[in-house]
Copies of this chain bind each other. A is one copy, B any other.
Amino acid sequence: MKIVIIGSGNVAYHLAKAFHEQKVAVEQIFGRNDIDLKSISDELNIPYSTCNLSDADLYIIAVSDGSISEISKIITKENCLVAHTSGSLSKEHLLGDYRKASFYPLQTFSKSKKLDYAEIPFFVEAENDEDLKSLQKLAQSISEKVMTSTYEKRKYIHLTAVFACNFVNHLFARAKEISDSQEIPFGYFLPLIQETTEKISQLEPKLAQTGPAVRNDARVLKLHEELITNDEQLKIYKVMNESIKKMYEL
Protein backbone atom coordinates (compact mmCIF):
# COMPACT_ATOMS: atom_id res chain seq x y z
CA MET A 1 0.00 0.00 0.00
CA LYS A 2 1.48 3.32 -1.09
CA ILE A 3 0.98 5.94 1.62
CA VAL A 4 1.15 9.74 1.43
CA ILE A 5 0.88 11.95 4.51
CA ILE A 6 -0.57 15.41 3.99
CA GLY A 7 0.45 18.01 6.57
CA SER A 8 3.62 19.08 8.37
CA GLY A 9 2.40 19.79 11.90
CA ASN A 10 2.70 17.80 15.14
CA VAL A 11 0.40 14.93 14.13
CA ALA A 12 1.84 14.58 10.60
CA TYR A 13 5.37 14.55 11.99
CA HIS A 14 4.68 11.91 14.64
CA LEU A 15 2.71 9.67 12.25
CA ALA A 16 5.55 9.83 9.72
CA LYS A 17 8.03 9.06 12.48
CA ALA A 18 5.96 6.14 13.83
CA PHE A 19 5.75 4.62 10.31
CA HIS A 20 9.45 5.26 9.77
CA GLU A 21 10.35 3.44 13.02
CA GLN A 22 8.30 0.42 11.94
CA LYS A 23 9.76 0.47 8.42
CA VAL A 24 6.36 1.22 6.88
CA ALA A 25 7.25 3.12 3.70
CA VAL A 26 5.79 6.58 3.21
CA GLU A 27 5.92 7.74 -0.42
CA GLN A 28 5.74 11.44 0.30
CA ILE A 29 4.83 14.09 2.81
CA PHE A 30 2.90 16.85 1.16
CA GLY A 31 1.85 20.25 2.45
CA ARG A 32 2.15 24.03 2.28
CA ASN A 33 4.93 24.70 4.76
CA ASP A 34 8.20 24.18 2.91
CA ILE A 35 10.42 24.65 5.98
CA ASP A 36 8.54 22.17 8.19
CA LEU A 37 8.25 19.63 5.38
CA LYS A 38 11.97 19.83 4.64
CA SER A 39 12.83 19.35 8.29
CA ILE A 40 10.65 16.20 8.52
CA SER A 41 11.95 14.98 5.18
CA ASP A 42 15.57 15.40 6.28
CA GLU A 43 15.03 13.64 9.60
CA LEU A 44 13.00 10.70 8.31
CA ASN A 45 14.34 10.42 4.78
CA ILE A 46 10.90 10.79 3.14
CA PRO A 47 10.45 12.81 -0.08
CA TYR A 48 8.32 15.92 0.26
CA SER A 49 6.53 18.35 -1.99
CA THR A 50 4.45 21.51 -1.76
CA CYS A 51 3.03 21.25 -5.30
CA ASN A 52 3.06 17.76 -6.84
CA LEU A 53 1.03 15.24 -4.93
CA SER A 54 2.34 11.72 -5.46
CA ASP A 55 0.12 8.84 -6.50
CA ALA A 56 -0.91 6.66 -3.54
CA ASP A 57 -3.39 4.06 -2.29
CA LEU A 58 -3.88 5.86 1.01
CA TYR A 59 -3.71 9.57 1.77
CA ILE A 60 -3.64 10.49 5.47
CA ILE A 61 -4.67 14.12 5.96
CA ALA A 62 -3.14 15.32 9.23
CA VAL A 63 -3.86 19.05 9.17
CA SER A 64 -5.96 21.30 11.42
CA ASP A 65 -9.72 20.68 11.29
CA GLY A 66 -10.41 23.95 9.50
CA SER A 67 -8.17 23.02 6.56
CA ILE A 68 -9.24 19.40 6.04
CA SER A 69 -12.14 19.95 3.60
CA GLU A 70 -10.17 22.41 1.49
CA ILE A 71 -7.05 20.29 1.19
CA SER A 72 -9.08 17.10 0.65
CA LYS A 73 -10.21 18.54 -2.71
CA ILE A 74 -6.72 18.36 -4.17
CA ILE A 75 -6.96 14.57 -4.28
CA THR A 76 -8.56 13.98 -7.69
CA LYS A 77 -7.82 10.26 -7.87
CA GLU A 78 -10.95 8.15 -7.38
CA ASN A 79 -9.64 4.66 -6.69
CA CYS A 80 -7.94 5.43 -3.40
CA LEU A 81 -8.62 5.73 0.33
CA VAL A 82 -8.42 9.09 2.12
CA ALA A 83 -8.41 9.32 5.92
CA HIS A 84 -8.22 12.35 8.20
CA THR A 85 -6.89 12.36 11.76
CA SER A 86 -9.46 14.67 13.35
CA GLY A 87 -11.40 13.74 16.49
CA SER A 88 -14.20 16.17 15.70
CA LEU A 89 -15.01 15.78 12.01
CA SER A 90 -17.00 13.08 10.24
CA LYS A 91 -15.33 11.37 7.29
CA GLU A 92 -17.88 13.14 5.05
CA HIS A 93 -15.89 16.35 5.53
CA LEU A 94 -13.49 14.84 3.02
CA LEU A 95 -14.59 16.28 -0.35
CA GLY A 96 -13.77 13.99 -3.24
CA ASP A 97 -14.91 10.91 -5.13
CA TYR A 98 -12.55 8.56 -3.28
CA ARG A 99 -13.36 6.18 -0.38
CA LYS A 100 -13.38 8.03 2.95
CA ALA A 101 -12.05 7.08 6.37
CA SER A 102 -10.96 8.26 9.79
CA PHE A 103 -7.61 7.46 11.40
CA TYR A 104 -7.67 9.10 14.83
CA PRO A 105 -4.76 8.80 17.30
CA LEU A 106 -5.78 9.66 20.88
CA GLN A 107 -2.71 11.52 22.07
CA THR A 108 -1.28 15.01 22.54
CA PHE A 109 1.52 15.66 20.08
CA SER A 110 4.35 18.17 20.39
CA LYS A 111 7.18 17.94 17.89
CA SER A 112 9.95 18.14 20.46
CA LYS A 113 8.52 15.44 22.75
CA LYS A 114 9.30 11.78 22.01
CA LEU A 115 6.42 9.33 22.25
CA ASP A 116 5.92 5.61 22.74
CA TYR A 117 3.67 5.01 19.74
CA ALA A 118 2.78 1.46 20.83
CA GLU A 119 0.77 2.95 23.72
CA ILE A 120 -1.34 5.34 21.62
CA PRO A 121 -4.95 4.23 21.09
CA PHE A 122 -5.98 4.51 17.42
CA PHE A 123 -9.63 4.73 16.38
CA VAL A 124 -10.37 3.86 12.77
CA GLU A 125 -13.52 4.11 10.67
CA ALA A 126 -14.09 3.37 6.97
CA GLU A 127 -16.87 2.93 4.40
CA ASN A 128 -16.35 -0.79 3.91
CA ASP A 129 -14.81 -3.78 5.66
CA GLU A 130 -11.82 -4.07 3.39
CA ASP A 131 -10.72 -0.48 4.00
CA LEU A 132 -11.41 -0.87 7.72
CA LYS A 133 -9.21 -3.95 7.85
CA SER A 134 -6.36 -2.32 5.96
CA LEU A 135 -6.47 0.74 8.25
CA GLN A 136 -6.58 -1.51 11.30
CA LYS A 137 -3.58 -3.43 10.02
CA LEU A 138 -1.71 -0.19 9.35
CA ALA A 139 -2.52 1.19 12.83
CA GLN A 140 -1.50 -2.15 14.38
CA SER A 141 1.91 -1.81 12.76
CA ILE A 142 2.58 1.13 15.09
CA SER A 143 0.21 0.65 18.04
CA GLU A 144 -0.97 -2.18 20.28
CA LYS A 145 -4.29 -0.45 20.89
CA VAL A 146 -6.37 -0.22 17.73
CA MET A 147 -10.14 0.15 17.93
CA THR A 148 -12.92 1.00 15.50
CA SER A 149 -15.11 3.99 16.23
CA THR A 150 -17.97 5.82 14.58
CA TYR A 151 -17.96 9.60 14.34
CA GLU A 152 -20.78 9.65 16.93
CA LYS A 153 -18.47 8.05 19.47
CA ARG A 154 -15.26 9.68 18.30
CA LYS A 155 -16.51 13.19 18.98
CA TYR A 156 -17.14 12.25 22.62
CA ILE A 157 -13.68 10.68 22.82
CA HIS A 158 -12.26 14.00 21.66
CA LEU A 159 -14.41 15.98 24.12
CA THR A 160 -13.24 13.76 26.98
CA ALA A 161 -9.64 14.27 25.85
CA VAL A 162 -10.09 18.05 25.95
CA PHE A 163 -11.02 17.83 29.65
CA ALA A 164 -8.40 15.20 30.51
CA CYS A 165 -5.52 16.71 28.56
CA ASN A 166 -5.96 20.22 27.10
CA PHE A 167 -7.61 21.69 30.19
CA VAL A 168 -5.25 19.82 32.50
CA ASN A 169 -2.27 21.31 30.69
CA HIS A 170 -3.83 24.76 30.98
CA LEU A 171 -4.17 24.27 34.75
CA PHE A 172 -0.45 23.48 34.82
CA ALA A 173 0.20 26.73 32.91
CA ARG A 174 -1.95 28.75 35.35
CA ALA A 175 -0.36 26.97 38.33
CA LYS A 176 3.07 27.92 37.02
CA GLU A 177 1.96 31.54 36.73
CA ILE A 178 1.19 31.50 40.45
CA SER A 179 4.41 29.78 41.51
CA ASP A 180 6.48 32.00 39.18
CA SER A 181 4.89 35.11 40.72
CA GLN A 182 6.29 34.04 44.12
CA GLU A 183 9.61 32.75 42.75
CA ILE A 184 8.74 29.20 43.77
CA PRO A 185 10.42 26.70 41.39
CA PHE A 186 7.73 24.85 39.40
CA GLY A 187 9.88 21.71 39.67
CA TYR A 188 8.71 21.36 43.30
CA PHE A 189 5.27 20.44 41.95
CA LEU A 190 6.32 17.73 39.51
CA PRO A 191 6.16 14.80 42.01
CA LEU A 192 2.70 16.00 43.08
CA ILE A 193 1.56 16.24 39.46
CA GLN A 194 2.98 12.82 38.66
CA GLU A 195 1.23 11.29 41.66
CA THR A 196 -2.08 12.98 40.74
CA THR A 197 -1.90 11.19 37.40
CA GLU A 198 -0.60 7.85 38.68
CA LYS A 199 -3.29 7.69 41.34
CA ILE A 200 -6.14 7.50 38.83
CA SER A 201 -4.80 4.33 37.21
CA GLN A 202 -5.53 2.67 40.57
CA LEU A 203 -8.35 4.76 42.03
CA GLU A 204 -11.50 6.26 40.48
CA PRO A 205 -10.80 10.01 40.04
CA LYS A 206 -13.93 10.74 42.08
CA LEU A 207 -12.52 8.74 45.01
CA ALA A 208 -9.05 10.28 44.64
CA GLN A 209 -10.23 13.88 45.13
CA THR A 210 -8.37 15.86 47.82
CA GLY A 211 -8.08 19.57 48.62
CA PRO A 212 -10.07 22.33 50.32
CA ALA A 213 -13.22 22.19 48.16
CA VAL A 214 -13.98 18.50 48.77
CA ARG A 215 -13.33 19.11 52.49
CA ASN A 216 -15.70 22.10 52.18
CA ASP A 217 -13.05 24.21 53.91
CA ALA A 218 -14.52 27.71 53.58
CA ARG A 219 -11.58 29.39 55.33
CA VAL A 220 -8.98 28.11 52.86
CA LEU A 221 -11.22 28.82 49.85
CA LYS A 222 -11.61 32.42 51.06
CA LEU A 223 -7.87 32.74 51.77
CA HIS A 224 -7.02 31.50 48.25
CA GLU A 225 -9.51 33.88 46.63
CA GLU A 226 -7.75 36.73 48.48
CA LEU A 227 -4.31 35.55 47.32
CA ILE A 228 -5.28 35.38 43.63
CA THR A 229 -4.73 38.63 41.73
CA ASN A 230 -5.38 37.41 38.19
CA ASP A 231 -8.98 37.48 36.84
CA GLU A 232 -8.70 34.28 34.79
CA GLN A 233 -7.14 32.37 37.69
CA LEU A 234 -9.97 33.57 39.95
CA LYS A 235 -12.69 32.50 37.50
CA ILE A 236 -11.13 29.05 37.20
CA TYR A 237 -10.73 28.85 40.97
CA LYS A 238 -14.39 29.58 41.61
CA VAL A 239 -15.84 27.39 38.84
CA MET A 240 -13.71 24.39 39.75
CA ASN A 241 -14.53 24.62 43.45
CA GLU A 242 -18.26 24.99 42.75
CA SER A 243 -18.10 21.98 40.44
CA ILE A 244 -16.26 19.90 43.07
CA LYS A 245 -18.85 20.83 45.71
CA LYS A 246 -21.69 19.92 43.35
CA MET A 247 -20.14 16.55 42.52
CA TYR A 248 -19.91 15.62 46.20
CA GLU A 249 -23.19 17.38 47.10
CA LEU A 250 -21.51 19.68 49.65
Contacts and interface: CB of A to CB of B under 8 A. Distances in A.
A155 B153 CA distance: 43
Contacts of A181: 156
A25 interface: no
A1 interface: no
Q: How many copies make up the complex? A: 2
State which size class the interface on A falls in: 35 or more
Interface string A88-131: 10000000000000000011111011010001110000000000
A162 B65 CA distance: 33
Interface SS of chain A: helix, strand, loop or mixed?
helix
A210 B169 contact: yes
B163 A171 contact: yes
Contact of A213 (B166, B197, B242): B166
Interface in A175-228: 175-176, 178-179, 181-182, 184, 188-215, 217, 219-220, 223-224, 227-228
Nearest to A240: B167
B164 A206 contact: no
Contact of A188 (B121, B174, B193, B232): B121
Interface in A139-180: 145, 147, 153, 155-176, 178-179
Given A163-B171, A164-B172, A164-B196, 19 more contacts: A65-B220, A88-B223, A106-B188, A106-B191, A108-B211, A120-B191, A121-B191, A155-B223, A156-B227, A162-B224, A163-B236, A164-B171, A165-B192, A167-B236, A168-B168, A168-B172, A168-B193, A169-B200, A172-B205
Interface of A: 10, 64-66, 88, 106-110, 112-113, 115, 119-121, 145, 147, 153, 155-176, 178-179, 181-182, 184, 188-215, 217, 219-220, 223-224, 227-228, 232-233, 235-237, 239-240, 242-244, 246-247
